[in-house]
Structure 1
Amino acid sequence: MLTAKKELLWKKINRLFKSNRFNDVISLTLENINDSLNYDNIKFINLAAEASLQTNQLELAKKFLEHSLKIDSQQYLPLYNLGVMHEIDEKFINAISYYKQSLNYNPEYFDARFNLANVLKKIQKFEDALIQTKQLIKLHKNYDSMNLHGAILLELNELDSAFKIFTELNSQYKDPNILNSIAKIYRKWGNQDKFFLTLEEAYEVDKNFPQTNHNLGNYYESKRKYMEAEKFYNSTLKFDDNPDTRISLGICQLKQQKFNIGWENYESRWKSSHLLTKFIKTRKPLWNGDQCDSILVWGEQGIGDEILYCSMLNDVSKFANKVFYSCSSKKITSILKRNFPNITILHTDDVTSDDFFDTHIPVGNLGRYLRNNPSSFKNTNYRIHPDPKNKTLIKTKFSDPMIGISWRSNDQLKNIELANFKSLINSRYKLISLQYQPTDDELKILIELGIIESKLNIYDDLESLLSLIDCCDYIVTSSNINAHFAGALNKKTFLLDKNNIELKHFHYWSSPTKNSLWYPSIEIVNQKKENNWKDEFQYIKSQIDV
């Protein structure tokens, strides 16, 4: 039981808290409540912790909460607040632990279960998150619980169930967030018309809602209406300056050859949680385009992108006495060493200190300085060469005129049905598969169509893949490593650019002419009708026949 003095203090502190005088609450608590483990101090300490959270004094809040839990470790609210703090710091595993502890002592605490489900969604443990949202709906079926449940179903690709939830919510709330979720489902179903109409409906509800503007930007970009896309991306950034929209804006600007501003915005990828490559740890500054003694250029985003951006490596040599290139995959080190004899080629694992270079830059950032106008793409003389002995050996196995084909990528949205390639079969050329790791079903189709399967380990042995591509007369491929190798080999290539609203088209497969700026030998064949390649394959066949 509180003493009369503490009763008066509690009333005063409580009054200050209700008046939003949070710093006064903290000061009075620190002045009057000692560090003892007296149970009477708990409510003072917890209120001071809440005041610290309100004023974003997180370290102080943490001290108050930990002190409170030393007095009584079974309090669900301090445990929940510690979870919130760890979630703010993006220490998600710790946050999950505290939310679970909070629920141990109060299983019906809605906020703790909601936050637990949301954090599990953030770290992509969608099945675990779904278990929590099901319990959440039993506790309280409201907008928040239903919306989160629907969002997790959407991540799990349970589209029918998600659609049912969002349409139910939409009947109660005309909310742009819900409409954007419905639009996303239509996009996944491949219904472009409904996707666009639903976004228009969301736009009418709230023209300033960031997600609507971002998605409209995506829509217009997929239709290659880049000026409209740029307008909506810029509108998004007025209300929510986030890295993912800025990346999309940068890519859209690069597609329009607005190189300076496009490269600048594209560099926002380093602030995005979706980028798998991590920025290297170093004390050395980023290269700014000036002359320097030594520079480390380091690979990012995958082998295909590295091959593309390595077209700028020889240009870097004009600015530095020593150029080091650190590739992210050991599979391409021998290829780069042979083709860049004046550059020291390393692997990421070899870079254990930053003592050997003065400045550094991720390879994709080079474009800002070296590819900032259309003329900078001309006369680059970029071409890689296969190992001569390896090519000779492979040429003895496959000596007929050949068309190399591949149809799959790591991104399933780029995939093309293998059956489409049947129309290329003719008496003048053999078709040979360049597809890495074909499935059993694909191998059966190759046999049925008479397409050669090289039986080379072209997934791990990229030297053999490079030689095999160079032995071909033509390449017809989806967007994957084969396209990049073919372009770098200066091989006549038809790049199949799929019409899919879900697919994020790379800036380097967009050009005001039919050929890629980065790889002049690659002709970009845009699919006109979704799920129909008939006209495009007829066109490719006519070009090969000529």
Structure 2
Amino acid sequence: MTDAVQNDSLEQALNTTAYAVPLPVDSAGDAGASKALQTVLQIKSSKTEGRLRKAIPILKRAVRKINEGQYRSAAQLGLEALHIDENLAMANHVTAIALDKMGVASFALELYERALKLDPNEPEVYQNLGLLAWRMELHDVAEQFFRIFCRMMPNMVEGPNNLACVLRDKGLFNDAIEVLRTAIYANQESALLWNSLGTVMMEQTNFDNAILFYEQALQIEPNLARAYHNIGYCRATEGDHKTALEHIQKALDLDVMPDNERAESEHARAVSLIGIGKLDEAWEAYECRNNPRYSGATCYSIPAKKWDGEPLEGKKILVVGEQGLGDEVMFMNMGHDLIDRLGPEGHLTIGVVPRLKTLFERSFPKATVTPHATIRSNGMPLRGCPHITDWESYDYWAPMASVLRVLRTDISDFDKPGGFLTADPDRVEHWREELEKLGPGYKAGLLWKSMLMSAKRSKYYSPFSQWKKTLRTEGITWINLQYGDCEEDIARAEKEFGVKIHQLDIDLKNNLDDLAALCVALELVVGPMNATTNIAAGSGTQVAIIGAPNAWPYLGTGQLPWYPTAKVFCADSISDWKPAMARFNAWLEQEVSGGGKTSVAGAA
């Protein structure tokens, strides 16, 4: 008997609520619709022998349960069939599909691989493995399985579609285009392929061609909701949220999308509502981010009642950080107001990334700050607050942004001076003394990218080459605030630009409390929106953001209402950062020539 069949952890998994990682929205194929399942139903038990004859009736029941969406029952039946004969390829495959659909990814992967060893000539196993690996962000593995599927099934468009999309996600755009071009030549009426070609163009910020390809897909298949969604996504990325909403709503109104695609469109709609500043409607819509069918969702393991708009006065509530570290900082713009709303009889506990704990404890002394922890459970992020033990004392818990529904329903709610974080005054003084050792002049902190520069994220950042004029601005001493792998860029700045970017003795990634103090000691912090610029602006430091066009955190204002001391220099187009950099450089020269630090309320 296989380890997977005998494993007690599998029995436990079958009795635990789990969510399957949603399929990528541009994928083709679904394990639950595999032709292999129909093949099982068509087998006549009377024409089989031995153990297979005993297993077939059980497998047929399992397939029917899969078709009914009762994946746990299907998996249990599949295991029953495997107990009869663990070497039945179809029993391994059917059970893997059931486990896959119910979200038990690790065991599904094991049984898929076992089915493959028993019957290496079954193409759908390769496709299902590729889809599962893709969902688990194992892109190299997914690519290998999709390539095999393409060779075995050269006339099926699902293979080249999925292969090209994985290549796109790896940033291999030319390879993806070549795969799609070849497939489209043979399948010119495939709306699926034209749509996926549009997504490759989109990720390269070639919006005009992307939309042409989406429109071609719609000419072939007018009800292809994902194409309308993708046009909306294009427009939102360009900053045109009103037009984006029109196309996203078309996708939703067609009412033909599977759950995972609908979840993506609902989220896109909510983000664009935030992007145009319709906050009273937007924050309610934004609750869709917690739908486990949405690819960016986090699941929570918190044994308390989830808050859903109930009165907060006198209540004890836990708010848990969500999304990225920078988002946790930004959303806590409402922290002091939430404490006031709870009143003297209530209490706030804040669950945050452990690196933020010290800074948040000083900034919100009336609250309890506890670290949250996140694990990957079958490919899905699962978050909890393990240090809390008195759960019975809590009235509610909520993801951090959910509280915005009652505390930030209008732009005027953000009209508060200075910062909401409090840097350590002793460390601020320490860093001022260290900066003085570098000589007189204007001291500015610099960032230019995210630590996670994936193919999809890189388009939101101005290329380092375009920082040349900025770095050469007279009178500025530049301080490195960029964490992660940046040695090559710093060396390039000195060699090619003739500018030294000073590196101080500080752990920029992990010691965020000290980072806040350093930012407050500086005259200015410059960079894209990331964890560091959020901390700097939240601490009341003057911050210049080189940002994407009309990004949703601007709330339709063109600036950042979350941070009164931040100034946004917004790109006209995400594919052309030069105008934004030129406007920033002109402002910076004027700022420096003014001499001395701009007075900022709330800065230490």
| Range of TM-score over shorter length | 0.7 to 0.9
**Shift, 1:196, TM fit:** 2.1
Report SS of the residue matched to 1:315: helix
Counterpart contact for 1:492–1:522, Cα < 8 Å: yes
Aligned pairs for 1:125-144 within 5 A? 125-143=138-156, 144=158
2:123 maps to a residue whose letter is F
Letter in 2 for 1:130: E
Equivalent residues in 2 for 1:102-501 (5 A)?
Answer: 102-143=115-156, 144-171=158-185, 172-238=187-253, 239=255, 240=257, 242-272=262-292, 274-275=295-296, 277-286=298-307, 288-290=309-311, 291-320=313-342, 321-348=345-372, 349-379=386-416, 382-399=419-436, 400=440, 401-412=442-453, 413=458, 414-424=460-470, 425-437=472-484, 439-447=486-494, 448-498=498-548
Offset at residue 216 of structure 1 (A): 0.7
Q: Which amino acid aligns with 2:508?
A: I
Q: Distance in 1 between matches of 2:484 and 2:349?
A: 29
Q: Does 1:521 align with 2:558?
A: no
Q: Name the CA distance, whole Å, in 2 between partners of 1:63 and 1:310.
A: 45
| Distance in structure 2 (CA, Å) of the matches to 1:44 and 1:323 | 58
**Equivalent runs, 1:89-100 vs 2, <5 Å:** 89-100=102-113
Instruction: Classify 1:356/1:451 alpha carbon distance in 2 versus 1 (closer, same or farther; 3 Å).
Output: same
For residue 47 of structure 1, report the CA deviation from its aligned partner: 4.1
The superposition leaves residues 43-81 of structure 1 with CA deviations (integer Å, 9 ceiling, x where unpaired) of 544444444444455555555544444444433222221
Inter-CA distance 137–462: structure 2 relative to 1 (3 Å threshold)? closer
The answer to whether the 8 Å contact 1:527/1:536 transfers is no
**Root-mean-square deviation (Å):** 2.9
TM-score when normalising by structure 1:
0.84
Q: Once the two structures are superposed, what CA deviation does each residue of 1:75-124 show, in whole Å capped at 9, x if it has no partner?
A: 32222211221121122222222222323332212222322222222222
Name the structure, 1 or 2, with higher relative contact order (CA <8 Å, separation 6+): 2
Paired residues of 1:251 and 1:506 also in contact (CA < 8 A): no
The answer to whether the 8 Å contact 2:318/2:351 transfers is: no
Normalised TM-score (structure 2): 0.77
Distance 1:277 1:90, change over 3 A: closer
For residues 203-236 of structure 1, give each alpha carbon's deviation from its aligned partner in whole angstroms, at most 9, with x where no partner exists: 3223321211111111111222221101111122
> Structure 1: which amino acid aligns with 2:542?
K
Determine if contact 1:297/1:362 at 8 Å carries over to the other structure.
yes
CA distance in 2, matches of 1:59, 1:386: 51
Deviation at 1:351, TM superposition (A): 2.1
Are residues 253 and 543 of structure 1, via their aligned partners in 2, closer, same or farther at CA, if it must alter by over 3 Å? farther
Aligned equivalents of 2:252, 2:159: Cα separation in 1 = 28
Query: Of 505, 509, 513, which aligns to 2:554?
Result: 509
Letter matched to residue 249 of structure 1: R
Question: Is the alpha carbon distance of 1:233 and 1:38 closer, same or farther for their aligned partners in structure 2, counting shifts above 3 Å?
Answer: closer
Offset at residue 456 of structure 1 (A) = 2.5
Moved over 6 A (4+): none
Letter in 1 for 2:198: A
Counterpart contact for 2:263–2:291, Cα < 8 Å = yes
The 1:346–1:423 alpha-carbon spacing in structure 2 relative to 1, beyond 3 Å, is same
Q: Letter of the aligned partner of 1:372 in structure 2?
A: T
Can you give the 5+ residue segments of structure 2 that lack an aligned partner in the other structure? 1-37, 373-385, 595-604
- Per-residue deviation, 1:247: 1.7
Identity, % of aligned pairs? 17
- 3-state secondary structure, aligned to 2:233: helix
State the alpha-carbon separation in 2 of the partners of residues 346 and 105 from structure 1: 49
Deviation, 1:338, is 1.6
Shift of 1:178: 0.9
Secondary structure at the aligned position of 2:393 is classed as coil
- Distance in 1, matches of 2:485 and 2:80, equals 59
Q: Partner amino acid for 2:477?
A: K
Q: Which runs of 5+ in 1 are unaligned?
A: 1-21, 30-36, 500-504
Aligned residues: 509
- SS in structure 2 at match of 1:456: coil
1:407 CA displacement? 0.9
Please state whether the residue corresponding to 1:317 is helix, strand or coil: helix
1:293-348 deviations in whole A, cap 9, x for unaligned?
A: 31112222233212212121111123322323333222222222222222222223
